[in-house]
Each structure stands twice: as C-alpha cells, then as structure tokens.
Chain A
Amino acid sequence: MAGLKLTYDIPSADDDFTRAGEASGSVKKKLRQIGYNPDAIRKVSIAMYEGEINVAIHAGGGEAEVEISSDAVTIKLIDHGPGIADVDKAMQEGWSTAPEAVRSLGFGAGMGLPNMKKYTDSMEIETEVGKGTTITMVVKA
C-alpha cells in the first residue's frame, strides 16, 4: 500500500467544540474503507480522539497530520498552545487541568494522555511552555 497522508484542522473548543472528534472520525472511516486491521483502527481512533480533544481544550486548536502505510499509522498532533509544564504529571491517570466548563461535558477524567500512550505502540511528546506541543504517535498495523 502506498503511503497516504491526511491533514486536518482541529478547531478550538472555545470556538466549536461540536466539531471535536471529526478528524479522528474521518481517519477511522478512511481506515475502514481501505480494510485496515480492525484492532489497529480502534487504537488509532481512541488515541487520536483523545489527542484531538486535548488540542481543542488546552491549546486553542491546532492540526493533525496522519500518515497511513501498510505497516503503521503515524499520527502527529501539532499545536501552538501553552505547552505542558510537567509531562510526568500529565501522564498520570487522573491528573487533569481541564476547565470546569469541559468537565461538565464529561471530560477532565485525566485519562487523555494515558489513553494515548496505552493505545499506541509509541508516543513522543515535544513540548515547550509558551510555545506549543507536538505529539507523534505510531500504531502498528
């Protein structure tokens, strides 16, 4: 399978939170169309949705680049938000800085980053406070 590259804008939760999940939904659909391994599709869907929500809630939006090959799906989430001050803490289950407004929608369980790690084969976080965060996740086929 030749590599396929998809890019998406992720809107800020402040502007349009109803669109959060569209990018991951679209990737899921695409993977189904090309007959990708169902286990890998589920992992990609969960990890990318969590990432998308994080970018929407914490970073005022950003973008997603997804590369699909026969071996793996690589998801890169790029934002120019506040950065993650303490990555170790952010990786702990249950630790959250989500604002009250999104908590009332059922977010803020502090499971976003842990879920992303759990459902991917590798995850790299590059972050700088005040500049933004880029997360690269790979799910093997």
Chain B
Amino acid sequence: MTVNELANQLHLKPLAGIGGDQNEVLTCYAGDLLSWVMGRAKEGSVWLTVMGNINAVAVATLADCACIVLTENAPLDEDARQRAEMQNVPIYSTDLNAFEMSVKVAELL
C-alpha cells in the first residue's frame, strides 16, 4: 500500500512532502523520542508522533520512514514543513491519538 492510498483511506490531512506519497507502507511505529525511533522504527514505517520539528524530518529521512503522521493535531514547525517539501517526506495530520491511529493503520496492513 502506498502512503497516498493510506492517507486517503484514513482521511489524513496532508501538510507537506506530498511528492513522496508513493512511498510504500510496510509497517507502523509510534514514538516521540527521536533516537529511540531512529534505532527501532523499521523501514517503510508510518511514524506516529507529536514531534513536528525539523529534526523529526531528518529522522524520517534517515530511517526511511514512509511518512510522518502528526497525531492529536500536533503542530508542524515552518522550517520542518520546508525541509519536508524539499526532501519529499510526506507529513499528515490527524485528530486521533497514537493508539487510535495505530489501530486504524493495523486494519489496513
């Protein structure tokens, strides 16, 4: 399943980096401590987090996450939005929390 298909089915709000929405979704990971996520999220993860800063974009890029979903409408910083656009890291927003979102992603995978 692509990020685009997942985003459509879950009605996620696109915030940035839509150029990367053909990335393949393989699994899902939830967490906010960047090094923790970096060391443990698997390639192709939908990453659920409240960290909308520029460092999160770097982690998503380097750890090959499929996309970032900012849960509970957590804000995306402007410099992070710009970096995500530049690097085609798809970022979406949802009003669901990480648990609720995980359940929905699990139903699709």
Contacts and interface: CB of A to CB of B under 8 A. Distances in A.
B38 A46 contact: yes
B58 A106 contact: no
A19 B56 CA distance: 13
Contacts of B39: 46, 111, 114-115, 118-119
A50 B55 contact: no
Interface string B42-78: 0100000001011110110111100000000000000
Nearest to A109: B33
A28 interface: yes
Contacts of A45: 62-64
A130 interface: no
A107 B35 contact: yes
Interface residues of A, number: 25
A106 B53 CA distance: 9
A82 interface: no
A17 to B, nearest CB: 8
Given A50-B35, A50-B38, A109-B34, A42 B64 contact: yes
Given A109-B33, A118-B39, A28 B62 contact: yes
Contacts of B56: 106
Interface of A: 17-18, 20-21, 24-25, 28, 42, 45-46, 49-50, 53, 105-112, 114-115, 118-119
